Chains A and B, each alone.
Chain A
Amino acid sequence: MIGNREFLYALAFLIVIGVLAVVGLPGNILNLFIFMMIIALAAQGWNLLGGYGGLSSFGHAAFFGTGAYTTAILQTNFGFNAWVGLVCGVAFGSIVGAVIGFLSFRAGLRGSYFALITLAFAEVLRVLANSWSVTGGAAGMLVRLQNGFTYLQFSDRRYFLLILIAFVAATLFLTRWLERSAFGAYLVALRENDQAAQALGVDVFRIKMQAITLSAGVTALAGCLYVQNFLFIDANVAYGSWISIEALFAAIVGGAGTIIGPLIGSVVLLGLGELTKSFAGGIAGIDLVVFGVILVLCVAFAPNGIRGFFSDLAHKRANRMDAA
């Protein structure tokens, strides 16, 4: 089974990073890996809805930001510990997902209309967070530095990376379950043809609702962990379009609707971005130029993402072998 091999590659990759981290990595590489894992999580969340369900959202910032703010507020204003914050963040993120899903799927939105409405919701949340006192308004919020497992902050950042790796691995398992379950089959079916899916007894609305709730939860988790790492959040970081774009970009470049795609995408994108910055650090925004080039290359040569590109190559080679 192809899905299984891919899943094992992904796990093996995570284990390698984990081992490297434990053995010892320079601080800046460690930070890069931490950021990669956070983006990978956000992208895996996006992938559940956009990749498998074909419902491309441009507003996953809505979930990311809700997760981030929930954790930050619960910790700073109410003194909850980070794990409780995390669970609540995921729960609130899912609720926001369900509400947005309910409103847009009730109206039957899909394709570019769905993308635009999600973008609009994220922007509304950004404006609200920017002016509401509870979220610190435009000044943003600082999360107090408290090292310890219950605070999810560590003086040795390797532990944080290991926890992130564990979460990414957990979402890999989640995605693999999805690929094999009736729910996943229904989700893919409605992506491919929702009329036909309905004719076969698929409750399209319900499946979409479940998918967006799950997807939002995973992306909210990324937001919660982001806050624990950077200890600062404001409206433009939490609800800004950068994270929506990063999440969908990583998933699409890596291979949307696949287990390993979002992970490949985030590693390749952030890795290349970092490389260019270190070679041409003086030029502001050079990494964004590289992103753009990668996107163009992907659209032209690998419409199914990097993973799709390699599996197509493998197919072609197999066909040549058959022919010879």
Chain B
Amino acid sequence: MLKAQNLTKRFFGLLAVDSASIDVEEGSITGLIGPNGAGKTTMFAMIAGFLSPNSGQVAFEGNDITGEKPHLRARRGLARTFQIVQPFAGLNVRDNIAVGAYLHTKDPREARSLASQTAERVGLGRELEKLASGLTIAGRKRLELARALATRPKLLLLDEVLAGLNPSEIRDVLPIIRSIRDEGVTILMIEHIMQAVMNLCDSVYVLSQGRMIASGEPRAVCNDPAVIEAYLGHGAAERIRSEGAADA
């Protein structure tokens, strides 16, 4: 559904993403993981159109969208959330979500009722009238999700929607994400919380220092020596294996 090929992004001297490719299957939940500063969010920004790559291509449903503006991608059905939440602080929850809903209807009444339904779905049903600036961090993450959902996306890009949530909040959000997929929305998510990644993802890509170092089924990827070294440092994979052997 989404094919990003050989994306490269350079910020002056810094090579943030180096010829990374990603392929998201329709109907799947695909994870994008990697240590801090690996370039995950930059990769997302290029896919969503907020940054233009120095080289490489992004194709969505077979169409090349590399040079397209973000709002046009949103109209194609590509919605994103932000890692650093970006609520419309002065608006209440319903109006925040309604902005997303206006993508498919110009009728305010319809948009507002769609917004209420979407809020219900992510568990914000009781805070419709609350100002976005008054929400807790967990509430704002839900709001990000609801706004993106209100655009009725085909592909949802989630940038660390679980970061900053406590374990019980995470337990609440996981089934929501799964239910979104079950309704036919493909999901590509950046996530640090491995429990969530193992739990949700059909396949995982690992980005480290701008390069895609591994991809595949989550369990296999986690045991990949290259991945372990990326997270824990050079020689870590070797050490873990020898310790494992000693224990056995």
Which of A's residues lie within 8 Å of B, judged by CB? Answer: 180-182, 185-186, 188-189, 192-193, 195-204
Given contacts A196-B82, A197-B99, contact A188 B74 (CB under 8 A): no
The distance from the CB of A34 to the nearest CB of chain B, in whole angstroms, is: 35
Q: Give 19 pairs: A residue, B residue, CB < 8 Å, sorted on A.
A: A182-B108, A185-B98, A185-B102, A188-B95, A189-B99, A192-B90, A192-B91, A193-B86, A197-B88, A197-B99, A198-B69, A199-B48, A199-B80, A199-B81, A199-B86, A200-B74, A201-B75, A201-B151, A203-B71
Q: How many residues of B contact A (CB 8 A)?
A: 31
Q: Contact between A196 and B74 (Cβ–Cβ < 8 Å)?
A: no
**Which of A186, A197, A200 has most chain B Cβ within 10 Å?**
A200
- Cβ contact within 8 Å between A185 and B69: no
- Give residues in B with beta carbon < 8 Å to A: 48, 50, 69-71, 74-75, 79-82, 86-91, 95, 98-100, 102-103, 105-106, 108, 111, 147-148, 150-151
- Measured in the bound complex, the distance between the Cα atoms of B131 and A192 in whole Å is 12
Q: Which listed residue (A180, A182, A189, A201) contacts B88, Cβ 8 A?
A: A189
The complex places the Cα of A105 from the Cα of B87 at a distance, in Å, of 23
B86 touches A186 (CB 8 A): no
B108 A180 Cβ-Cβ under 8 A:
yes
Choose from A182, A186, A195, A196 the contact partner of B147 (Cβ within 8 Å).
A196
Contact partner of B99 (CB less than 8 A), chosen from A181, A195, A202, is A202
Closest Cβ neighbor of A203 among chain B residues: B71
CB within 8 A of A200: which of B69, B89, B103, B105?
A: B103
Of A181, A186, A188, A199, the contact of B82 (CB 8 Å cutoff): A199
Contacts of A204 in B (CB 8 A): 71
Nearest CB of chain B from residue A42's CB, rounded to whole Å: 25
Q: How close is B108's CB to chain A, nearest CB, in angstroms?
A: 5
Judging by beta carbons under 8 Å apart, are A195 and B69 in contact?
no
